[in-house]
Amino acid sequence: MTTFLLALDQGTSSSRAIVFDAQGQIKAQAQREFRQHFPQPGWVEHDAMEIWDSQLATAREALAKAGLVAADISALGLTNQRETTVLWNRQTGLPLHPAIVWQDRRTAALCADLRAQGLTPVVQEKTGLVIDAYFSGSKLKWLLDHVPGAREQAARGELAFGTIDSWLLWRLTEGRVHATDVTNASRTMLFNVHRNDWDDELLRLLDIPREVLPAVHPSSHHYGQVAAAHLGGEIAIGGVAGDQQSALFGQACFEAGMAKNTYGTGCFMLMHTGGQFQTSANGLISTSAAQIDAKPRYALEGSVFIGGAVVQWLRDGLQVIESSGAVQALAASVPDSGGVMFVPAFTGLGAPYWNADARGAILGLTRGSTSAHIARAALESIAFQSAALLQAMSRDAVAKGGMAVSELRVDGGACANDLLMQFQADLLGIPVVRPQVIETTALGAAYLAGLSCGVYGGLSDLAGNWRAERVFQPAMGREQAQELMANWERAVRQVCAS
């Protein structure tokens, strides 16, 4: 009998479902996009019911494509866009307001006020986070303050708050389970990552009643059963994790010093720090890593705002390529960028620079510069930004007595670009390793579910499943790589100063 696991991967623009076998190979998958709503500048919303409908539809479709029924699935794992906030009525099961998406900036003024009160050290020490509208706690406060009657209903215990994982758990179990896992809880700005519990002081600061909060469990845990009506039979829900922590787990990065980078529209790099909570001195945030038991596990995280999106700009803005896939051939038609440096700060710069006012620039142009040089510089900008993140992580790790990262595991759509991956290895001076299965976010959720139901005996089983498809070894001299990074940092300084 072959064992199968079903992963639900609920993202910012689409819902996906993937059926994996016990070896981590894909049996079938399905995907559906849903609408993005922008009611006013800086606001981003989703219809939580549409998210539920799209996610359920993909689960049914993936099972049908695989030729399987609910009884063939050992367990279901769930991974989700983090920080997106839903508030719903426990009795009716209906949201009180559209979901406020992680990208939404409506609470920026509130967060600025909290920073002005000198609360940054308190929040960082308890949660590992900076005070920012990105995180879901301020979004929940906005909903309670602005939806008529919400605070009164919350006080009576009639409302439930959750990030998308909690919302889907509620719907999948028909209201029997109101829960989340430690990784999603750690992104709320309300959760004490040392104690793995909601923090009373932080709840008071944001005026959040405990009555609306979900129970918090390890990422690998028996959360309950999918109601039979949804998928034709009950399925155990055994794993939940936010998307980036799930990808770290799917990459089998279980030990301190192991790191992964996801190359998507942006780039998200996480380095496992084991049981050691590290406050970054280099512009990163600390967060809970996926946990298989009650023991806290942590990671350092850094985000690049514009990764693969720079290729979309070459296609749609400059129109120098007809499709995103054409960028590698154009960039490879020249031996290097010819001194051109591209800083794609279209929406400011993320970690480790944190400069919201920076704007993009193409530097070093000469009469000899061509669209190929610009394309190459655009691709290289993804690697430069990621290298700056990894260097920051290594500095933090070494300062705490740890080891610098020895290899980088990669996933996401842009990791298929060989030219980019080779340049990344050259800059870093360490191997860049692309796995056979690059759907590591969904795979992590499946692995967490498989652990909870006994499909796997432990982490060693999962590490044994992990296979490299290609290893990119650094081929550039360290002196040349350091010179290139110095040129990049000089370009960043020019952008930030302008």
Does any domain span residue 22?
yes
Distance between CA atoms of residues 193 and 354, nearest Å: 23
pTM of the model: 0.88
Residues 6+ away with beta carbon under 8 Å from 357: 348, 496
Please tell me the total count of domains within the chain: 1
Does any domain span residue 26?
yes
Does any domain span residue 65?
yes
The percentage of the chain sitting over the pLDDT mark of 70, rounded to a whole number, equals 99
Structural domain that includes position 185: 4-244
315-329 exposure pattern, b = at least 16 Cβ within 10 A, e = fewer = beeeebbeebeebbe
Confidence band, pLDDT 50/70/90 cuts, at residue 475: very high
Confidence (pLDDT) at 498: 65
Distance of CA 366 to the CA centre of its chain: 38
Does any domain span residue 478?
no
pLDDT digits (tens, 9 = 90+) for 264-314: 878 899 999 899 888 888 888 899 999 999 999 999 999 887 888 888 889
Confidence (pLDDT) at 2: 67
pLDDT digits (tens, 9 = 90+) for 119-163: 999 999 999 998 888 899 999 999 999 999 999 999 999 999 999
Confidence (pLDDT) at 257: 86
CA-based nearest residue to 238, from 225, 252, 255, 254: 225
Distance between CA atoms of residues 277 and 280, nearest Å: 10
Contact call for residues 17 and 24 (beta carbons, < 8 A): no
Confidence (pLDDT) at 125: 92
pLDDT digits (tens, 9 = 90+) for 191-236: 999 999 999 999 999 999 999 999 999 999 999 999 999 999 999 9
Q: Of how many residues is the chain composed?
A: 498
What end-to-end distance do the CA atoms of the chain give, in Å?
Answer: 63
Residues 6+ away with beta carbon under 8 Å from 101: 12, 36, 44, 45, 46, 81, 84
Does any domain span residue 74?
yes
What letter represents residue 170's amino acid? W
Does any domain span residue 116?
yes
- At 140, is the secondary structure helix, strand, or coil? helix
Higher pLDDT, 456 or 355: 456
Angle at 316 between CA 261 and CA 12, to 5 degrees: 45
Does any domain span residue 323?
no
**What average pLDDT score do residues 346-353 get?**
80
pLDDT digits (tens, 9 = 90+) for 28-70: 999 998 888 889 878 889 999 999 999 999 999 999 999 999 9
User: In this structure, what CATH number is given to the domain that contains residue 185?
Assistant: 3.30.420.40
Distance between CA atoms of residues 423 and 420, nearest Å: 5
Confidence (pLDDT) at 188: 96
Q: What is the mean pLDDT of the chain?
A: 92
The percentage of the chain sitting over the pLDDT mark of 90, rounded to a whole number, equals 71
Confidence (pLDDT) at 441: 92
Does any domain span residue 355?
no
CA-based nearest residue to 285, from 134, 84, 403: 134
Position 381 pLDDT exceeds 60:
yes
Residues 6+ away with beta carbon under 8 Å from 482: none
Position 22 pLDDT exceeds 60:
yes
Position 260 pLDDT exceeds 80:
yes
